[in-house]
Amino acid sequence: MRIECIAVGTELLTTRRLDTNSVWLGERLAALGLGFHRKTAVGDDRQDLEALFREALTRSELIVITGGLGPTFDDFTKECFAQILGAELREDARSREDMLAFYAARKRVPAASNFKQALIPVGAEALPNPVGTAPGVWWEGPSGHPGVRIVMLPGVPREMKRMWETQVEPRLRALAGRPVHTLRLVVAGVPESTLDERIRPVRERHAHLEWTILASLTQVELLVRGPDAAALDVARADLEAVLGEDLACAGEGDLEDAVLDDLRARGETLAAAESVTGGLLAARITAIPGASEVFAGGATVYTSPAKAALAGLEPASLAAQGTVSEATTRALAEGIRVKLGATWGLGLTGNAGPTAESGEPVGSVFIALAGPEGTVAQHFNVPGDRADVRLRSVGWALDLLRRALRNG
């Protein structure tokens, strides 16, 4: 089945808002053995929408549209498709009732413009929205296009996801046939090119499976898909033998999940003193539910006074060693560990740029890990711009801790 995704909204063409809906939908389709052959973002322009919709009708069997179903003047996804297909828009009684109930439950009255959301093309089916006011649309075999299915969903991710899971996915599951199983492995401390070379013999041995490598600034994901779960189990065993300690975790988690799981299993805790990363490491960890069981806390020690007050560093030592140095970073890791009574302490200093400071070039980063048996430190020359340096530093700090927890 050739499936196309169209994300509607001028905001998606700027840097202020990303189209995350299509990424999530792609993952859900993959579990059904399906996938997009094309994804497009388009602004709120009638001519552009109509031209894109006409093209999609000629090349895709399932068209999934997100956005443009709201009550405002720039929401006209349904109107454009109805005009192209020569269908009238009529009010759907259930959609109107659901909308009135939604507002009544909140002791509010809908504006007149809200009622246009209840208009559905003749021949299409309204998809109820249990968490919003905009119903979706399921349109199967519209006039002149008997082999085409059209799905329209709100652009609000919370609404779109609920409607997809409960109303769209069950319909597609019946069409998709046998589902595809997916193996996901997270690898840390290894560049994607190196990983590609290392797993090549395994890929060649299991050439009947679909392989994908996805790299980010903090980890590399390896995705393996196939119709047979047993075949994936064999591939996983082969990969584990090749990857060794570089394999951080398997399944849905990421590097930070692996670290928290290892800390929890050992009954140990972590504290962090962050300078160059400005709290990014703590944010990654605390984004995970239950992190408070093992994360004692952290401090953003961005200035010399903060390093002295929050991590216990002596001003004289700071002046002598410099704010970006191995000695200072070790002292941060040890100081925050003692201050918060944690099993482990992480310290991070560096120069993220854009100009050289503290005698260290841009990209120079020190990471220290203090634990029950002492302190270790590493020095990295991190490539990339300011954002890259900070994110890579978080990944390397987490990986340093992960390896210590597993291997000493």
The whole-number pLDDT of residue 58 equals 95
Quick one: tokens of 270? 């972590």
What pLDDT shows up at residue 34?
87
- Average of pLDDT values for 226-252? 94
d(C-alpha 96, C-alpha 396), whole Å: 53
| Residue 22 neighbours by CB distance under 10 Å | 19
Question: What pLDDT sits at residue 184?
Answer: 93
| DSSP assigned state of 180 | P
Q: Which residues pair with 371 in a beta bridge?
A: 374
Q: How far apart are CA 210 and CA 224, in angstroms?
A: 6
Give the 3-state secondary structure of residue 131.
coil
pLDDT at 119: 96
pLDDT band for position 179 (cuts 50, 70, 90): low
Look at residue 111 and tell me whether its pLDDT is greater than 90: yes
For the chain, the structural domain boundaries read 3-176, 181-250, 257-407
CA distance 201 to 242: 9
Q: Which CATH superfamily is domain 257-407 in?
A: CinA-like (3.90.950.20)
Architecture of domain 181-250: 2-Layer Sandwich (3.30)
188 and 248 Cβ atoms separated by less than 8 Å: yes
User: Tens digits of per-residue pLDDT, 71-93?
Assistant: 999 999 999 999 999 999 999 99
Helix axes 192-205, 229-243, angle to 10 degrees: 130
227 preceded by a cis bond (ω within 30 of 0):
no
Sheet-wide strand order for 295-300: 295-300, 270-274, 344-350, 364-371, 374-381
Q: In what order do the strands lie in the sheet with 3-8?
A: 36-42, 3-8, 62-66, 149-153, 136-140, 125-127
For 376, phi and psi rounded to 5 degrees? -120, 150
Q: How many CB atoms lie within 10 A of CB 326?
A: 17
Instruction: Indicate whether 357 pLDDT > 90.
Output: no
- Which contacts (CB < 8 Å, 24+ apart) does range 143-146 have? 143/85, 143/86, 143/87, 144/85, 145/57, 145/85
pLDDT above 80: residue 9: yes
How many residues can be counted in the chain?
408
pLDDT value at 165 more than 90: yes
Return d(Cα 135, Cα 71) in angstroms, integer.
11
Using only the alpha carbons of the chain, give its radius of gyration: 26
State mean pLDDT over 37-45: 95
Q: What is the pLDDT of residue 382?
A: 87
Angle of helix 255-266 relative to helix 386-407, nearest 10 degrees, comes to 30
Q: Cα–Cα distance between 214 and 232 in angstroms, integer?
A: 18
Q: Give all strands (DSSP E) within 9-50, no chain letters.
A: 36-42
CATH topology of 3-176 equal to that of 181-250?
no
Quickly name the fold that domain 3-176 has. Answer: Molybdenum Cofactor Biosythetic Enzyme; Chain A (3.40.980)
Q: pTM for this one?
A: 0.73
pLDDT, position 27: 85
Question: Distance between CA atoms of 19 and 350, rounded to whole angstroms?
Answer: 33
Q: What crossing angle do the helices spanning 77-85 and 46-59 adopt, rounded to 10°? A: 60
Strand, helix or coil for residue 378: strand
pLDDT (0 to 100) of residue 95? 95
